[in-house]
């Protein structure tokens, strides 16, 4: 008879995978992840059928964590600029507070292990944000540019901002405000 799965062990494996992937990339062996989680390699595969399954589940967990932080207390009735500023500020705060999660997520976002179904789940969880950005983009100077390209520019600007914020924490908030102003001018 199989032992019941422990949510604590599953969480420990996902936390360890975050740390190990952030440090070693997607080539990190599952044995290293299991060791960091304090479980056997066999136990890891009790919770995740394959390494790809582990990566896919971690991607979902990290994206949902990031989205919940960014969307928390979103001032939905506020003007679009205030809403986007809120999202931007919360997103940067999450990434600054969780640099390992940010690094692991950067690796996972380009991984072939992430299923189309998982990418669709995340897109659906960000539908409110995508609708907001699409409405602003459609009326601004980027109206002739596809939204995915605008999102790529936004991600690149956020990554550059975060790199500077982590290197210069005393001016992190100023870097975030300046980057937002640049993004807003581009978008609206």
Kind and range of the H or E element at 148? helix 147-167
pLDDT at residue 82, rounded to an integer? 97
- pLDDT value of position 129: 92
Distant-in-sequence, close-in-space partners of 149: CB < 8 Å, separation ≥ 6: none
Domains of the chain plus CATH, in order, are: 1-48 (1.10.10.60), 50-187 (1.10.357.10)
E strand or H helix at 10: helix 7-24
Is 97 in a helix, a strand, or coil?
A: helix
Residue bearing tokens 């390699």: 41
pLDDT tens digits in sequence order for the chain, 188 residues long: 556 688 999 999 999 999 999 999 999 999 999 999 999 999 999 999 999 999 999 999 999 999 999 999 999 899 999 999 999 999 999 999 999 999 999 999 999 999 999 999 999 989 989 999 999 999 999 999 999 999 999 999 999 999 999 899 999 999 999 999 999 999 99
- Measured between alpha carbons, how far is residue 151 from residues 20, 90, 126 in Å? 28, 17, 12
What is the token pair recorded at 185?
Answer: 């001018």
**DSSP string computed for 27-69:** T--HHHHHHHHTS-HHHHHHH-SSHHHHHHHHHHHHHHHHHHH
Determine the pLDDT at residue 3.
62
> Is-above-0.75 flag for pTM?
yes
């Amino acid at each position: 008879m199989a032992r019941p799965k422990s949510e604590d062990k599953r969480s420990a494996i996902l936390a360890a995978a975050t740390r190990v992937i952030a440090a070693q990339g997607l080539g990190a062996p599952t044995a290293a992840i299991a060791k960091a989680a304090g479980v056997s390699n066999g136990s890891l595969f009790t919770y995740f059928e394959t390494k790809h399954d582990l990566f896919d589940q971690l991607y979902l967990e990290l994206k949902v964590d990031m989205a919940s932080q960014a969307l928390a207390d979103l001032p939905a009735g506020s003007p679009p600029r205030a809403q986007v500023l809120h999202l931007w500020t919360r997103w940067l705060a999450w990434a600054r507070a969780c640099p390992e999660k940010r690094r692991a997520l950067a690796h996972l976002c380009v991984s072939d292990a992430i299923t189309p179904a998982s990418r669709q789940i995340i897109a659906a969880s960000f539908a409110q944000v995508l609708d907001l950005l699409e409405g602003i983009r459609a009326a601004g100077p980027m109206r002739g540019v596809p939204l995915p390209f605008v999102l790529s520019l936004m991600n690149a600007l956020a990554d550059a901002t975060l790199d500077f914020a982590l290197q210069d924490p005393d001016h992190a908030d100023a870097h975030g405000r300046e980057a937002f102003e640049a993004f807003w001018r581009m978008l609206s």
